[in-house]
Amino acid sequence: RAALLGICERERGSVRTLAGFFPRALPSAQTVIATVLARAGGDEATGLLAAQLGSASAEADALLLLELAKIAGRDTGEDQLVLERVRGILGHPDARLATLGCLVLEKLRDHEAVPDLIVLLSDDDPNLRRRAHAALTSLTGLTLPAEEQPWIAWLAEAFAWWDERSESCRVALVSGSATEAAAAVHETAGQRLFVDQVVEMLALTLGRPEPDLVASACRALGAIPERTAHEALAPLVAHPDPAVAERARAALRRHEHARQLAVPPSLARIPARSSLP
């Protein structure tokens, strides 16, 4: 392992080459390869690990997911392919893999996975239900019970908002009167489905000329401790209006405080029992 790490750190491209050996390697070697990919892959690590999902055995997938769980959420956004590959694990017949998938998607902050996670609340495996609920609570900020029906009811209302209200709110945020835009900020900030899109909409307000409105949007973004919200707020610390700049700094401090309080889900809670071959 140490020798492989040294090679991968010295020679560019060697990590990708090593990843190509994963599917046909012996199980003991797969453990080493997955560990090296996670440690030496840098910004490519999650993509390299996710690309191997489904390429070998279910046990190999478990190794990959465990490494992904350790490194996911390194302050960088993941491409859609990574998220889709991990999301696909949620439908795996082995509950242990699906449970690990829930953990990884939570750490990757995959808000698009929310509908799929809700489906798992009715699964027969109690560990999977608990992990799916933990991921849902983390991703949405909601405190609904670990039962499918309340989440389905919420999801239906959330989908209805996106279908019926999102476009009118978007227009108000960009070109509505100050009163209309302020109401749209409040309404949009209350949405907990597709949070990255919520951030995108709220960020439309940050370029408006009304300081009070921009400060309101900063406050709303401060309540969303996601990377996309952090990036939207960062330039506002140099806003010409001192009140807006201070509101942006306060929102960023709120993000940092939320990050410090966050306790990574314990891998020890993943059930040891497995039906892996």
Residue 7: the pLDDT is: 64
> Residue 161's pLDDT band (boundaries 50, 70, 90)?
very high
pLDDT digits (tens, 9 = 90+) for 100-154: 999 999 999 999 999 999 999 999 999 999 999 999 999 999 999 999 999 999 9
Q: What is the pLDDT of residue 270?
A: 40
Give how far Cα 120 sits from Cα of 214, 218, 271, Å. Answer: 39, 35, 16
Q: Which of 87, 256, 111 is nearest to 198 (CA)?
A: 111
**Burial class of residue 90 (count of CB atoms within 10 Å of its CB; 0-12, 13-18, 19+):** buried
Domain 2-154: CATH superfamily, name plus number: Leucine-rich Repeat Variant (1.25.10.10)
Handedness of CA 74, 76, 80, 81 (dihedral sign): negative
Q: At a CB cut-off of 8 Å and minimum separation 6, what does 83 contact?
A: 105, 108, 110, 112, 113
More confident residue, 261 or 104: 104
The CA distances from residue 265 to 11, 18, 122, 128, 208, in Å, are 34, 29, 21, 14, 39
Mean pLDDT of 204-210: 96
Question: How far is the C-alpha of 19 from the C-alpha of 138, rounded, in Å?
Answer: 31
pLDDT value for 273? 38
Q: How confident is the model at residue 5 (pLDDT cuts 50, 70, 90)?
A: low
Q: Residue ranges of the alpha helices (H) in the chain?
A: 2-10, 14-21, 27-40, 45-51, 58-71, 80-88, 95-108, 114-119, 126-140, 148-164, 166-175, 178-189, 195-203, 211-222, 227-233, 242-261
Q: How far apart are CA 235 and CA 221, in angstroms?
A: 13
Q: What's the average model confidence in pLDDT over 80-84?
A: 92
The two tokens of residue 272 are 């040891």
Q: How far apart are CA 29 and CA 130, in angstroms?
A: 32
Q: How far apart (Å, rounded) are the C-alpha atoms in residues 239 and 246?
A: 9
Return d(Cα 139, Cα 110) in angstroms, integer.
Answer: 8
DSSP 11-67: STTHHHHHHHHGGGS-HHHHHHHHHHHHHH-GGGHHHHHHHTTTSS-HHHHHHHHHH
Single-letter code of the amino acid located at 183 = A
Residue type (1 letter), 3: A
pLDDT class for 19, splitting at 50, 70, 90? confident
d(CA 73, CA 145): 26
